[in-house]
Structure 1
Amino acid sequence: MLRLRKSILTVLLAVFTLLGCVAGPSLSAEKTALVVSVPMEGVVGVSLENYLDEAFAYAAEEKAALVVIGLDTPGGLVTSMRGMSQKILSASIPVAVWVGPPGARAASAGAFLVMAAHVAAMAPGTNIGAAHPVTASGQDVPDKELSRKITNDLAAQMRSLAEERGRNAEVAASMVLNSVSLTAREAMEIRVIDTVTPDLPSLLKWADGRKVRVGTVDVVLDLKRYEIRTFEMSPRLRALHFISRPDVAYLMLTLGILAIVFEVLTPGGFVMGTAGAVMALIGAYGLRMLPFNWAGIILLVAGIIVLVLDLVVGGIGVLSLFGLASLVVGSLVLFRAPGGELLNVSVGFMAGITLTLGAFFILAAGAVWRSTRNRVTSGQEGMVQGEGVVVEDLAPGGFVSCHGEVWKAVSEGGERISKGTRVRVVRTDGLLLHVRKVEGENLEEKGAGHK
């Protein structure tokens, strides 16, 4: 009987041990999956590229199961788009790009990032596409042959990304070739994206159990239990992202150059020059993150210098017109450079800045010109033809009171002029006034007669 009990206990122990070995993986599979949320908003550029690098490093360190990029962009740099697409393609962690929240867009360069993702999703009320290459001013590339080469190159890249992820390659390429833009529902119906979900939890619920290919390995997403951590952009990258916006970089550079030119032409302080140097440096650093044309920089500087010179030389606004023309041309070609084919700069903003500066300088030049026609009423030149009173007999030298000040004076012709006589300034010789007696009564004699 004792032996039978021992045998039963041994069998039960073996069964529980076997069950533990079988159940072990199931229990571990129920662990919470980490999902790293990476919100990306604004122009695709160097700052967002660096942000993506930091997000991927954090996700790898924390052993995340999925990285979700929340995208809302009008487009950006071709170079940054290519770099970010390559990082997504070579990522060791599954990457989902969700265009959201409702009202967001994945235009131009953003469409490439959506195509590169393992999971492509959009929120209702969003749109994707319009990836045809343009100049920074929003116009087509002027050189037809160059435009054809750039367009075909980008279309091939878009087609390749779509084929890699099993999506509709022809429609994806038409976003580049024909500037096709799609709503979220349209994109899902023709297999440009994988799903339409209103928020991140809905996306994770849809993605749970789905298989994606990461590198050469098929990975099944296990998102039954998950924890979402948002990886925010660092303050350094936030500042860089702000100043690398084309409109901000243009404004800082223009105001900085203007302040420096004013400081050089009207020395005597340091506030204007220091502020100008800081703004110019910020603008230059922002331009370093953007494709820019040196000809545009030169035209901007020349235009501002000509505008200021028109004020200095007392022109009538002709130079201001030339300076304004230089400023306009410089603004238009500033961001027209290789790499900026998907960068759309606000032409309205740049036109507003240019017109404001031009109007200011033309009005100021007009005021300077009008002032040169007025009679001088201050300084030594303003004394000529002015009247005064002798305060000390001129024999022929003495002193007169003119414009509320006492001046050393000498009578014209050497005649003696007594105290209290009204005189008129004929000319000046340094600080010496040459005066002539005004015909009339002597003020002192007139006062004595009243007594």
Structure 2
Amino acid sequence: MRALAVLLTWSIILLVLASPTVAVEGTALLVEIDGAITSSTDDYISEAVATAEEGGYDVIVITLNTPGGRLDETFSIIESIENTNIPVIGFVYPHGATAWSAGTLILISTDIAAMAPSTVIGSMQPVEISGEGAQPVNDSKVIKALVSYAKVRAKKHARNETAVEQFIVSNLNMDAREAVEYGVVEYVVEDVPSLLREVDGSEVKGQTLHTAGARVVSFEPSLRTSLLAILSDPLLYSILLLIGIYSLIFGLTNPGAGAEIGGMICIALGLIGMGFDVSIAAVFLLILGVALILFELSTPGHGIFAVAGLICTTVGLVLLVPMGYPDQLISPEFTRTLLLSILLPALAVGGLFVFAAYKVAQVQRKKPLMNMGPSGERARVVTSIPPGGSGFVSLHGEYWKATSTVGAAKGDEVVVVERRGAILVVEPSKEEKNEEDTYGKS
């Protein structure tokens, strides 16, 4: 019996040693940054990291396709990446994508950095908007602070600090092949599954990655985060603010229609989209612009006050959108596009609202013809007027009931002889009489 027990024990040991090793399949959470980094992107990444920690994911893959964006949110995103115990992989994807400015800063701050073929990173020099357009910031204090921050992240992950510095001071750009060659990123891969196979077995944050064949789950943000992502689009919240301001003007000049309520809702949504980063000067210009337009509606100024109000509201709206350091780390090309996308709708919508408001005020100030003496005015017969009967005529674009002793045919020109209450007494004009006499004689 003893010999049998020893034999069974050794048999079990041999079977265990001979059995093939079973690979541990991991789970990866796929998070996409697609578009400008706005006030909602920070919430989006924080929520994704929390989901990965609660769900026990092995790795987080952040794909980047962005022109850059707000610097405060970028710092917050990097903080979330560095504070989680889950390895985070940055991946510039898909083919042809870019991770400029703030996107590059996020990429070099991830635990593993990779790029798809035909992708580009770089252009990290901050820009500001002036009267001459988008201009690079050359303030040494600003540049040195940003360079130090970026180089610390590069050094932490053993990446090329010199290249990272050149991204900022010289707006250096690199494609995927160059980025790997100069040690800025670790991998060039076609897609996410290929990336997970490449990093399998890597040691990150004291963990060995088991990502070959890992199950990839796309992150689905909450309804709140999705709504903030929509509202934080600069073009959308600038239009919301425009509509809100001019709806408020119409509501104050024509109470009861509910325009002022809709205007306040649009303004609130626009401010939420901006993240409530409001400039005092911009708010002053907006208030001044609204006041000037209201003054134009109440006191005729030949449109001068309305035009001045439009200029103030447009400039105020542009100032509300943060364009330069320290709010933005974004490529100059995207900055110019963003500025045009704000200015053109502002001018178009603002001009439309001012024109409509001016026409409404013009109609309100116009005296009704009932209080005027239309005698001697010429009108056009709309419906035939039989002798001694009545019909309708058009006078200054308004329909009047009219009567005539001699009658008039449809389309004839008549002269108003007198007005009896709301009824005009008319007779054919001299030209119409002459034509009738001529035809009668022939």
2:52 pairs with 1:59:
yes
Going from structure 1 to structure 2, the CA distance change for 1:88 and 1:250 (only over 3 Å counts) comes to same
Tell me the residue number matched to 1:94: 87
Which SS does the other structure have where 2:215 is aligned?
strand
Cα 1:317–1:423 change in 2 (3 A) is: closer
- Kindly tell me: are residues 40 and 102 of structure 1, through their superposed partners in 2, closer, same or farther at Cα, counting changes over 3 Å? same
1:68 matched to which residue of 2? Answer: 61
Alignment of 1:270-285 (within 5 A): 270=258, 272-285=259-272
Question: Does 2:198 align with 1:178?
Answer: no
**Is 1:317 matched up with 2:310?**
no
Summarize the Cα distance change of 1:180–1:312 in structure 2 as closer, same or farther, 3 Å threshold. farther
Match of 2:231 among 233, 243, 252: 243
- Indicate the percent of aligned positions where both proteins have the same amino acid: 27
CA offsets 1:52-74 (integer angstroms, 9 cap, x no match): 22222222223222111112222
The one of 207, 211, 219 aligned to 1:223: 211
Residue 187 of structure 1 deviates from its aligned partner by 1.3
Q: Deviations over 1:244-288 (max 9, x none)?
A: 122211111111011011111112322x22321221111121122
Name the structure 1 match of 2:190.
198
- Cα drift, residue 353 of structure 1: 1.8
Query: How far apart in 2 are the matches of 1:347 and 1:338?
Result: 15
Find out whether 1:10 has 2:30 as its counterpart: no
Correspondence list, 1:426-441, <5 A: none
Is this contact kept in 1: 2:121–2:173, CA < 8 A? yes
User: How many residues are treated as equivalent by the alignment?
Assistant: 386
**1:342 aligned counterpart, secondary structure:** strand
The 8 Å contact of residues 314 and 368 in structure 1, kept in 2 or not, is answered as: no
CA contact under 8 A between 1:315 and 1:368: conserved in structure 2? no
Task: Compute the TM-score of the two structures, normalised by the length of structure 1.
Answer: 0.75
Q: 1:432 to 1:208 in 2, by over 3 A?
A: closer
Q: CA deviation at 1:163?
A: 0.6
- Decide whether aligned partners of structure 1 residues 64 and 382 sit closer, same or farther in structure 2, where only a CA change above 3 A counts: farther
Name the residue aligned to 1:340: 327
- Structure 1 residue 21, shift from structure 2 partner: 6.8
Question: Mapping of 1:51-450 within 5 angstroms?
Answer: 51-135=44-128, 139-140=134-135, 147-212=139-204, 214=205, 217=206, 219-270=207-258, 272-288=259-275, 291-336=277-322, 339-342=326-329, 346-357=338-349, 359-360=351-352, 378-381=369-372, 383=374, 404=401, 424=418
Unaligned runs of 5+ in 1: 1-5, 392-401, 407-421, 434-451
Q: How far has the Cα of 1:102 moved from its partner?
A: 1.3
Q: Give yes or no for contact 1:311–1:364 (8 Å, CA) kept in 2.
A: no
Larger Rg, first or second structure (1 or 2): 1
CA RMSD of superposed structures (Å): 3.6
Conservation of the 8 A alpha-carbon contact between 1:135 and 1:340? no
Letter in 2 for 1:273: E
Change (3 A) 1:210 1:372: closer
Relative to structure 1, the CA distance from residue 124 to residue 301 in structure 2 (aligned partners, 3 Å threshold; closer, same or farther) is: farther
**1:106-146 deviation line (CA, Å, top 9, x unaligned):** 1111111101111101111221111211236872377x6xx
Query: CA 1:249/1:294 → structure 2, altered by over 3 Å: closer, same or farther?
Result: farther
**Structure 2 Cα separation of the partners of residues 120 and 8 of structure 1:** 58
Query: Following the alignment from structure 1 to structure 2, what is the Cα–Cα distance between the partners of residues 373 and 56?
Result: 61
Q: Could you list the runs of 5+ residues in structure 2 that have no partner in the other structure? A: 379-387, 389-398, 404-415, 424-442
User: Does the Cα contact within 8 Å between 2:233 and 2:273 map onto a contact in 1?
Assistant: yes
Question: 2-side partners of 1:10 and 1:295: how far apart?
Answer: 89
Return the alpha-carbon distance in structure 1 between the equivalents of residues 134 and 237 of structure 2.
Answer: 20
The 3 A distance-change label for structure 1 pair 327 and 23 is farther
Q: CA deviation at 1:242?
A: 1.0
Q: Secondary structure at the match of 1:316?
A: coil
Letter in 1 for 2:372: E
Shift of 1:308: 5.0
**CA distance 1:164–1:209, shift in 2 (3 Å):** same
Could you tell which deviates more after superposition, 332-341 or 67-76? Answer: 332-341
* Alpha-carbon spacing, 1:47–1:360, altered in 2? closer, same or farther (3 Å): closer
One-letter amino acid of the structure 2 residue matched with residue 325 of structure 1: I
1:265-314 CA-partner distances (Å, limit 9, x unpaired): 112322x223212211111211225x331211321342244245434433
SS in 2 for 1:82: helix
Q: 1:56 to 1:367 in 2, by over 3 A?
A: closer
For residues 349 and 200 of structure 1, do their structure 2 counterparts lie closer, same or farther at Cα, with a shift above 3 Å needed? same
TM-score using structure 2 length? 0.76
Taking the aligned partners of 2:356 and 2:264, their CA distance within structure 1 comes to: 24
* Closer, same or farther: CA 338–130 of 1 in aligned 2, 3 Å: closer
| Alignment-mate amino acid for residue 320 of structure 1 | A
CA contact 2:27–2:59 (8 Å) conserved in 1: yes
3-state DSSP class of the match of 1:140? strand
What secondary structure does 2:68 align onto? coil
- 1:411 matched residue in structure 2: none
